[in-house]
């Protein structure tokens, strides 16, 4: 295989869940794209780190200081759903059933792979809630971590950390099968889990 394809395949292989075989398929698929799309794609990749990348409030993707959700006056800023990843946020957004805001931790507690509480945006969450509590006593934090071991560990840890702040803490209802994930839950399950949170 030519060098230019080999290099591109290597880059794609660095992405999570992509092996060399899949990377090859991606490159072959892109050969079918119109040149204009390829140019736009490469320009976007080149500029991916220009300007703000993450919301300073919730750590969602953002093109300004705050993401579109945090900046929206239509969203209830006193209801904060704590999720592990941006993809979880996107799955919840797709349901349209949640009118609050989010806080993206950047993963779950998993000491075996070095994901310790200090590496997650937990201090930022505590700071954010303290600030919010000065404005209103009525704050709800919805722990929407994944229903697996690491997600549960994280939720328990957060409950301990947040208890002194005296906010209402709820969890997504058990509609989500244990061992599953927020990201891949189907919409109806996720809507129910939100509706019956406690």
User: Least distance from C-beta 60 to Zn ion, angstroms?
Assistant: 5
**What is the C-alpha to C-alpha distance for residues 20 and 103, in angstroms, rounded to an integer?**
34
Q: Which two tokens stand for residue 43?
A: 């320009």
Q: Return the residues of window 16-55 that contact Zn ion according to CB under 5 A.
A: 55
57's CB contacts (< 8 A; 6+ apart) are 66, 67, 70, 101, 128
Task: Work out whether 82 is an interface residue with Zn ion (CB under 5 A).
Answer: no
CA 193 from chain centre, in angstroms, equals 17
Q: Which residue's CB is nearer to Zn ion, number 99 or number 178?
A: 99
Of 38-46, 62-70, 86-94, 125-133: span binding Zn ion (CB under 5 A)? 62-70
Would you call 122 helix, strand, or coil by DSSP? Answer: helix
Q: Find the binder of Zn ion among 58, 120, 141, 144 (CB under 5 A).
A: 58
Q: Find the binder of Zn ion among 9, 23, 27, 70 (CB under 5 A).
A: 70
Residues that bind Zn ion (CB under 5 A): 55, 57-58, 60, 67, 70
């Amino acid at each position: 295989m030519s060098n230019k394809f080999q290099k591109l395949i290597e880059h794609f292989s660095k992405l999570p869940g992509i092996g060399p075989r899949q990377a090859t398929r991606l490159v072959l698929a892109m050969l079918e794209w119109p040149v204009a799309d390829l140019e736009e794609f490469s320009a976007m990749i080149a500029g991916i780190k220009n300007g703000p990348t993450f919301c300073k409030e919730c750590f969602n993707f953002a093109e300004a200081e705050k993401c579109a959700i945090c900046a929206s006056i239509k969203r209830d800023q006193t209801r904060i759903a704590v999720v592990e990843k941006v993809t979880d946020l996107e799955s919840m957004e797709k349901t349209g059933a949640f009118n609050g805001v989010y806080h993206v931790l950047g993963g779950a507690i998993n000491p075996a792979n070095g994901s310790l509480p200090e590496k997650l945006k937990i201090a930022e969450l505590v700071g954010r809630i303290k600030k919010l509590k000065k404005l209103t006593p009525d704050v709800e934090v919805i722990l929407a971590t994944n229903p697996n071991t690491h997600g549960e560990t994280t939720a328990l840890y957060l409950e301990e950390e947040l208890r002194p702040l005296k906010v209402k803490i709820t969890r997504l209802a058990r509609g989500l099968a244990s061992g599953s994930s927020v990201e891949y839950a189907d919409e109806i399950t996720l809507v129910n889990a939100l509706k019956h949170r406690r």
